[in-house]
Amino acid sequence: DAGVIQSPRHEVTEMGQEVTLRCKPISGHDYLFWYRQTMMRGLELLIYFNNNVPIDDSGMPEDRFSAKMPNASFSTLKIQPSEPRDSAVYFCASSLAGKIYEQYFGPGTRLTVT
Amino acid sequence: AQSVTQLGSHVSVSEGALVLLRCNYSSSVPPYLFWYVQYPNQGLQLLLKYTTGATLVKGINGFEAEFKKSETSFHLTKPSAHMSDAAEYFCAVSNGAAGNKLTFGGGTRVLVKP
């Protein structure tokens, strides 16, 4: 079983550039979550989807962040333009309906914005 | 609203000694409670969960936790630490409603000394 797949694993970019993070959830999972982890703020939920529909995006920090889920097997998190304070590890997770709390996390994308 | 407080951001234990990680929660309804573990450079994985029923729950790798409603606590223990237990541990709460999200604590990093 492949697990949640994220790409790239590491991304270094300059301030002002567009960054796109990608996620492939576990096949058959109904929910997909995007989290951000930093030393200062810990683990924060940014947005989550149910059956490809965004349910709660209240954690998205500002309009520079956007997320899409065009189909059940793919999601993107985009930051445009990026800023140094966006540097963090971004995790994608997925879960089954009825067990939303039993989330399976991907390995994360470490983003550095210089 | 729900919240989680983990006492101690860092814990150091000797190999073979008891591991005790403290977690207190706040929830307006009966909570579902979880412990997740994050090994270096990896995503989080579910260690154990409490939803209903027996208040002492056992998880993987010899860990267990006890739900104490009167103390609003869900402390994690392991009788004998192993070097492989070095990781960061996150307590999380959900109110159990279908579609609700997890709220994570700040995490406790465990160092195991030989």
pLDDT tens per residue across span B17-32: 999 999 999 887 888 9
**Out of B41, B45, B98, whose CB is closest to A105?**
B45
Q: What percent of chain B has pLDDT over 90?
A: 75
- On whether the CB atoms of residues B70 and B6 are closer than 8 A, the answer is no
**DSSP strand pairing (A42-50 vs A53-56):** antiparallel
As a whole number of angstroms, the distance between CA B22 and CA A55 comes to 32
Could you list the beta-strand ranges (E) of chain B: 3-7, 10-14, 19-26, 32-38, 44-50, 56-58, 64-68, 73-78, 87-94, 103-104, 108-113
Mean pLDDT of all residues in B51-79? 94
Q: What pLDDT, on a 0 to 100 scale, did the predictor assign at position A66?
A: 97
Question: How far is CA B110 from its chain centroid?
Answer: 12
- Evaluate if residue B88 carries a pLDDT over 50: yes
Degrees, nearest 5: CA angle B14-B20-B26: 155
Q: Tell me the nearest-neighbour CA distance from A63 into chain B, angstroms.
A: 22
As a whole number of angstroms, the distance between CA B20 and CA B39 comes to 18
User: Tens digits of per-residue pLDDT, A67-96?
Assistant: 999 999 999 999 999 999 999 999 999 999
Contacts of A10 in chain B (CB under 8 A): none
Q: Is A42 in Cβ contact with B106 (below 8 Å)?
A: yes
Q: Is A91 in Cβ contact with B44 (below 8 Å)?
A: yes
Mean pLDDT of all residues in B38-43? 89
Q: What pLDDT, on a 0 to 100 scale, did the predictor assign at position B4?
A: 92
- On whether the CB atoms of residues B77 and B58 are closer than 8 A, the answer is no
Q: Which residue has the higher pLDDT, B98 or A65?
A: A65
User: Tens digits of per-residue pLDDT, A37-58?
Assistant: 998 888 999 999 999 999 999 9
As a whole number of angstroms, the distance between CA A97 and CA A44 comes to 21
As a whole number of angstroms, the distance between CA A112 and CA B82 comes to 33
In degrees and rounded to multiples of 5, residue B60 shows phi and psi of -80, 160
Q: What pLDDT, on a 0 to 100 scale, did the predictor assign at position B68?
A: 95
**Of A9-13, B10-14, B83-87, B99-103, minimum mean pLDDT range:** B99-103
Sheet holding A65-71: strands in order across?
A: A5-7, A19-24, A74-79, A65-71
- Average pLDDT of chain B, as a whole number: 91
- Evaluate if residue B98 carries a pLDDT over 60: no
Which residues have C-beta within 8 Å of that of residue B74, sequence separation ≥ 6?
B23, B24, B25, B33, B35, B50, B65, B66, B67, B68, B91
